[in-house]
Chain A
Amino acid sequence: MSQPYLDLRAKTKARDRRLRDKVMSLEAAAALVGDGDHVALGGCTASRTPFAMIWALVRAKRKGLTISRSIVSTEGDVLFASGVSAHIMTSWFSQGIVWGISKVMRHYTESKRARFEEWSHMSMGLRYRAGAMGLPFLPARSMMGSDVAARLGDEVRKMTCPYTGEQLVLLPALNPDVALIHVPRCDAYGNAQIDGLQFMDADIAMAANKVILTTERIISNDQIRRAPDHTKIPFFTVDAVVEVPYGSAPHECYGLYEPFFGHMDDYAEQTARDPEAGAKDYLERFYYAPESWADYLGLIGMDAVLDAARRGRSITND
């Protein structure tokens, strides 16, 4: 997944990095993702998952994507069940501990129809960071002695530190073809400001060869310049900006909405009964049937949207 350094530099040099308007529709942004691409997802577990972009990719019938993320929740089920991806690289994969093990993940991986390639959480982070730093790997002191490293074979190597003689593990860089990142606000050029939990998003944006931002709202460049210290992703790493309110639903977006717990409970129950048919039925109802993202939110329900928003905003009540 790491790329020859000069290729990486050439790809970066070839990108249009001017301060320019990059606002487009979900459908147009989905067309920037190619079949077979390595696509990294921002956020973590049920937070700031780029669900609107995933929704658009499923509808566009994208195929053969390799997905990477720090921790994968229900979006992994959707990507497997829709056929968009049969290979997910991550440190943890299930809806969330309170919902138990994902039956959809189990169904597809245990039948070997899809692969869950497991790395430790810090390793995933250091792999993106190595990519962001323009280095082929980073050393670390984790993963040694475990079967997690052993199972990855040659992908994880060890070295003796030339200074101290200590054993270190080496984590190969990830430079995703595309990064999908959902943010609370950005300008039309792609300067993104992220409140609260940052996850691995800045590293992923720096590491990737293409970045698609979805955002709760587009703000002016003047507003960005009033608080440039809040900008976590610089415009020249970004290739597309899509304004999608509630673009992480049914997951959360910090300070704006919490996870849609009722919807996620229903999803867990439906997929536990029959992982394959349950997931297919879910895709039919929420991914293929709606005409628009607004229509999708309408199916989840206005009461659910308002409840998630009330809980989300409560973070600033104290």
Chain B
Amino acid sequence: MTENDGYTASELLAVMSARLLEDGQCVFAGVGIPLLAATLAQRVHAPGLTILFEGGVVGPFVVPGELPPTTNEQRCTRRANMVMGITDVLLLLQRGYVDVGFMGGAQIDRYGNLNSSFIGDPDDPKVRLPGTGGGNDISSLTQMIVAMKHEKRRFVDKVDFITSPGFLAGGTSRGDSGLVTGGMYRVVTDLAVLGFDERTRAMKIAALHPGVTAEEVRDNTGFDLPIEAQAPTTEPPRAEELAALREFDPERLYIA
């Protein structure tokens, strides 16, 4: 995607993932695109969406132009219903109050496992990444939506390190490991919306963004990616959605 389409790849990501959030849901949102998309959903179609931030925030409304740099700063608490400790807000996931966990990803594999810890051998890494934060807890305990750029180096057959569990080795392996709830629901990229097979738990194309072919998605993916029969094409970002996004992030911290 380029500016020629009237929106950036990040804007497309934010809009497409916002649309997956439903009014009345409780969403645990990470910083960056997830925060922006959840805020966008609140504004456009889900005014009753409850956002939780890892810093311990329940039900805030982020102020346009004052996006928080992390989910642990005072900007996250604007118009919140409650602030609580970090451990307690994360325990809401375990108790079952959270419908959707929503985060970004550095590297993902065919079973939706996410890596944000090491590129290369963990004992001798090429890059030490910042780590899990709450990612492991969120993906262990609730249904997940992940928003990320679609690049071959990010969509790999097997992640170097499972930081946040998807369906592990596929099939029933997630449940067998002790993770009896949650799992990957959707991965939203700048090319497509991806889902997971009910039985094998392998990733597949659920919808294509406007002007994108299945071939193009496969060319940017490091493993075999089937397409659902009659996978629809998503509706392009609407002017209303883009305007709201740009109002929230005028300095383009997240949507550049």
Contacts and interface: CB of A to CB of B under 8 A. Distances in A.
Given A158-B178, A169-B178, A46 B69 contact: yes
A245 interface: no
A74 to B, nearest CB: 12
A238 interface: no
Measured as residues with beta carbon below 8 angstroms from the partner, the interface class of chain A is 35 or more
Nearest to B159: A147
The 7 nearest A-B residue pairs measured at CB: A125-B87, A145-B177, A167-B178, A92-B133, A120-B136, A144-B178, A122-B90
Interface in B75-120: 75-79, 83-87, 90-91, 93-94, 117
B74 A196 contact: yes
B253 interface: yes
Nearest to B35: A97
Interface of B: 31-32, 54-57, 69-70, 72-79, 83-87, 90-91, 93-94, 117, 122, 125, 127-137, 140-141, 161-165, 168, 173-174, 177-180, 253
B14 to A, nearest CB: 15
The majority secondary structure among interface residues of chain A is mixed
A198 B74 CA distance: 11
Given A92-B130, A121-B90, A122-B91, A47 B140 contact: no
User: Which of A98, A146, A252 counts the most B-chain CB atoms under 10 A from its CB?
Assistant: A146
A151 B178 contact: no
Interface stretch (A22-30, A199-207, A279-287, A295-303): A199-207
B162 A45 contact: no
A19 interface: no
Interface of A: 44-47, 70-71, 90-94, 96-99, 101-102, 105-106, 109-110, 116, 118-123, 125-126, 128-129, 140-148, 151, 158, 166-169, 196-203, 252, 254-255, 258-259, 261, 312, 315, 318
B87 A141 contact: no
Contact of B85 (A92, A119, A146, A200): A200
A199 B162 CA distance: 26
A71 B94 CA distance: 20
9 contacts: A45-B55, A45-B73, A46-B73, A71-B70, A99-B69, A121-B132, A141-B179, A199-B55, A201-B85
A147 B72 contact: no
A140 B94 CA distance: 8
Contacts of B93: 122
A266 to B, nearest CB: 15
Contacts of B57: 197
B117 A118 contact: yes
Nearest to A98: B69
A99 B117 CA distance: 17
